Amino acid sequence: MNARVLITGSAGFLGTNLVPALVAKGYAVIGLDNLMHGHRSAVRELEGTGFRFIEGDVRDIATVRAAADGADVIIHFAEAKIPRYGGTRATLEANVIGTENVLAVAAQNGARVIYGSTDEVYGKNPERWLNEEAALVLGQTNVNRWAYAASKLLSEQLCFAYQESHGVKMTILRYTSGYGIHQSLDWQGGPQSVFITAALRGEKIPIHGDGLQSRTFTHAGDMVRGTVLALESPYADGEIFNIGSRDEITIINLAYLIWRLVKNPQKPRLEFVPYTDFSRNYEDVRHRALDISKASYLLGYEPRVNLADGLRETIQWQASMLGSPGEI
């Protein structure tokens, strides 16, 4: 019989893409989410087909304990995101307390933990193609962007601490710039979400800074594949893996690509927004590209979806969502 898996944050972007993949493979899946950002509708049709949803908060250990009852694996995705516009305390609280609760329950139950971490922990490290050994270089504590990275870094430390003190089996997956269906349509979902909406409406695409900062965007299907490989690999215990793509692109070229794929007949309309316009002391990261060779060699992970194809699918989905908001 396949394992029973609890996914925290199951109603978010990654969760809603992962749940159907695990159900299709025969796993019994339980989802836990407080619906702070997530959308129950995205997984509603799966309920009763090997998937059960619990509305609840990972900050409450009794809730996590009840949800994890009988679970062999806990995939921990629940999180509060980058506090770019405030919410720093909420970010620290949800991410750190949530992770500690998950680990404490895993220690009691003997469940394995897969922790959804982020490339943000590499912070300002200027190296290109950062591997898992690269230094984690965070910025000043008065720049609220780093609260998110600090909370995820501390969560990773907690994973290793519970491995050491309680023998919890755990794997850390550092994802980067995910896109695809079920992504948030605003900045929470990343620049591509905002750019697609603007291009579909023929509005100006807001480019923060000069747009020459670059990222490696990763399709939801590849993120799911990497997660399933880590879940099923005999080599993943105690390891950190970067899960990303090799599709590095500048933000301005992402805007141009989306404008063309949307087939907007007008010339691209860009609006350059200085960082100071949206946050007093915001700090951007110039380039962020993950070396995924460890996941490739040890897990057999290879991203399969190229950026243009993945964006075409995302644009189609997002256009339908904008026609019927609320059904994300």
**Contact window for ligand NAD (CB under 6 A) among 57-65, 138-146, 262-270, 293-301:** 57-65
Query: Cβ of residue 83: shortest distance to ligand NAD, in angstroms?
Result: 13
Nearer to ligand NAD, 47 or 271 (CB): 47
Minimum separation from the CB atom of position 55 to ligand NAD (A): 9
Residue 322 CA to residue 113 CA, distance in Å, equals: 36
50 binds ligand NAD (CB under 6 A): no
Minimum separation from the CB atom of position 212 to ligand NAD (A):
21
If you ran DSSP here, which 8-state letter would residue 68 be given?
A: T
Site mask for ligand NAD (CB under 6 A), range 103-142, x = bound = -------------x-x------------------------
* Smallest distance, ligand NAD to C-beta of residue 199, A: 20
Q: Is 36 in the site for ligand NAD (CB under 6 A)?
A: yes
* Strands 248-250, 214-216: pairing kind: antiparallel
Q: Indicate the residue among 191 and 264 with the shorter CB distance to ligand NAD.
A: 191
* From 19, 79, 170, 208, residue interacting with ligand NAD (rule: CB under 6 A): 79
How many amino acids of this chain bind ligand NAD (CB under 6 A)? 30
CA–CA distance, 106 with 226 (Å, rounded to integer): 22
Alpha carbon of 153 to those of 95, 112, 128, 159, 283: distances in Å? Answer: 10, 19, 20, 10, 18
34 binds ligand NAD (CB under 6 A): yes
CA 328 centroid distance within chain? 17
Is 15 a binding residue for ligand NAD by CB under 6 A? The answer is yes
In order, the DSSP letters of 181-249 are TT--SSGGG-HHHHHHHHHHHTPPEEEETTS--EEE-EEHHHHHHHHHHHHH-TT-TT-EEEE--S-EE
- Cβ closer to ligand NAD: 76 or 208? 76
Interface pick for ligand NAD out of 20, 31, 38, 226 (rule CB under 6 A): 38
Instruction: For residue 267, give Cα distances in angstroms to 114, 205, 256, 257, 275.
Output: 45, 12, 10, 12, 25
Q: Which is nearer to ligand NAD, 14 or 181 (CB)?
A: 14
Comparing CA positions, the residue from 243, 244, 241, 242 lying closest to residue 217 is 244
CB of 230 closer than 8 Å to CB of 114? yes
Q: Does 33 bind ligand NAD (CB under 6 A)?
A: yes
* Smallest separation, CB 173 to ligand NAD (Å): 8
Under 8 Å CB-to-CB from 315, ≥6 apart: which residues? 196, 200, 258, 261, 262
Contact by Cβ (8 Å): 38, 7? no
Region of 66-74, 78-86, 156-164, 251-259 interacting with ligand NAD (CB under 6 A): 78-86
Here the tokens at position 261 are 């794929």
224 sits near ligand NAD (criterion: CB under 6 A): no
State the CB neighbour count (10 A cutoff) for residue 49. Answer: 11
Residue range at the interface with ligand NAD (CB under 6 A); choices 10-18, 262-270, 287-295, 298-306: 10-18
Which residues of this chain interact with ligand NAD, rule CB under 6 A? 8-9, 11-15, 33-38, 57-59, 77-81, 94, 98, 116, 118, 152, 175-178
